[in-house]
């Protein structure tokens, strides 16, 4: 019995021992057999076409004595199915991902890799044999989760794998917070910030002191006020702004 790989299989040679003439036959078109000669001892060289499916297949080669037709030898030829594996079938991304993710591809031969959404970018559009694909995404500055599909397809075959990518919606708390300070404040106030990405803090009022003006992700802002030297109350604004486009 002979076993071949699914793709780019090497030629295999079988010796034939016969005292007279002989002939060869095969059952399947994907098997090619060449004989060095068909009289006396010789060799046959066997090659197979690439198997473009995931299923293994088999065929038979027969070697028959021309002088004594009842003398028949059979050679079973088996070819493995085309294999394709990916390290993940589902990928979850934050709304503002800081780093790309990788996808390992295990196969024989070359593959093409594509995404059906422009916001989901595949760095390597092709792989050769086993390899790693890098996937990145732009900031999802909407209030809805979004989905993409990455397709890995082995060239010249019908073998594919699909990877589902889900990116979370952008979160940013926009509620107005009112802080009251006494005329001679001894305390400071802290405001929590919920954000999927980058944000900044600013104020045009010099009597207000802000700490932690720029950060990423969930955090907090600490605000303190100077002594109010006047009898009238005063009011100021602290603005917390999303820096990832217009979420």
- Give the pLDDT of residue 243: 85
- Read off the pLDDT of residues 53-82 as tens digits, 9 standing for 90 and up: 989 999 999 999 999 999 999 999 999 998
- Give the pLDDT of residue 172: 87
Query: Mean pLDDT over residues 122-130, rounded?
Result: 88
Q: Could you write out the DSSP letters of every residue in 163-195? A: EEEEEPPP-B----------SS----EEEEE-B
pLDDT of 125 over the 50 cut: yes
Mean pLDDT over the full length of the chain: 91
- Give the pLDDT of residue 119: 96
Q: Could you write out the DSSP letters of every residue in 86-153? A: ES-SEEEE-SS-SS-EEEEEEESSEEEEEESSTTEEES-SEEESSEEEEEEE----SSS-EEEEEEEE
- Give the pLDDT of residue 87: 96
- Read off the pLDDT of residues 232-244 as tens digits, 9 standing for 90 and up: 999 999 999 888 8
- Give the pLDDT of residue 103: 95
Most confident of 7-11, 163-167, 169-173: 163-167
- Read off the pLDDT of residues 201-244 as tens digits, 9 standing for 90 and up: 999 999 999 988 668 888 899 999 999 999 999 999 999 988 88
Q: For the chain, give the percent of residues with pLDDT over 90.
A: 70
Q: 133 falls in which pLDDT band (50, 70, 90)?
A: very high
- Give the pLDDT of residue 126: 86
d(CA 143, CA 115): 22
Q: In angstroms, how far is CA 137 from the centroid of its own chain? A: 12
- Read off the pLDDT of residues 18-41 as tens digits, 9 standing for 90 and up: 999 999 999 999 999 999 889 999
Is the Cα dihedral 10, 11, 17, 22 positive or negative? positive
- Give the pLDDT of residue 67: 92
d(CA 176, CA 189): 14
Is the Cα dihedral 70, 25, 11, 19 positive or negative? positive
- Give the pLDDT of residue 247: 45
Q: For the chain, give the percent of residues with pLDDT over 70.
A: 98
Asked whether 117 and 223 are in contact (CB, 8 A), the reply is no
C-alpha distances out from residue 59 to 55, 99, 103, 127, Å: 14, 49, 36, 31
pLDDT of 198 over the 60 cut: yes
């Amino acid at each position: 019995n002979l076993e071949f790989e699914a793709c780019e299989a090497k030629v295999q040679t079988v010796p034939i021992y016969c005292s007279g003439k002989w002939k060869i036959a095969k059952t399947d078109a994907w098997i090619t057999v060449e004989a060095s000669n068909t009289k006396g001892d010789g060799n046959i060289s066997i090659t197979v076409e690439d198997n473009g499916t995931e299923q293994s297949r088999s065929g038979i080669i027969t070697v028959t004595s021309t002088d004594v037709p009842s003398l028949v030898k059979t050679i079973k030829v088996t070819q493995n199915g085309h294999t394709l594996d990916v390290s993940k079938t589902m990928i979850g991304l934050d709304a503002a991902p800081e780093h790309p993710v990788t996808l390992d591809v295990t196969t024989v031969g070359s593959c093409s890799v594509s995404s059906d959404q422009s916001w989901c970018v595949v760095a390597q559009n092709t792989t050769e044999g086993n390899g790693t694909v890098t996937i990145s995404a732009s900031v999802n500055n909407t209030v809805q989760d979004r989905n993409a599909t990455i397709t890995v397809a082995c060239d010249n075959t019908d073998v594919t794998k699909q990877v589902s990518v889900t990116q979370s919606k952008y979160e940013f708390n926009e509620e107005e917070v009112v802080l009251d300070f006494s005329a001679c404040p001894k305390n400071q106030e802290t405001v929590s910030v919920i954000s999927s990405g980058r944000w900044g803090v600013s104020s045009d009022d010099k009597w207000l002191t802000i700490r932690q003006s720029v950060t990423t992700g969930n955090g907090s802002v600490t605000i303190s006020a100077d002594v109010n030297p006047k009898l009238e109350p005063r009011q100021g604004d602290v603005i917390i702004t999303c820096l990832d486009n217009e979420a």
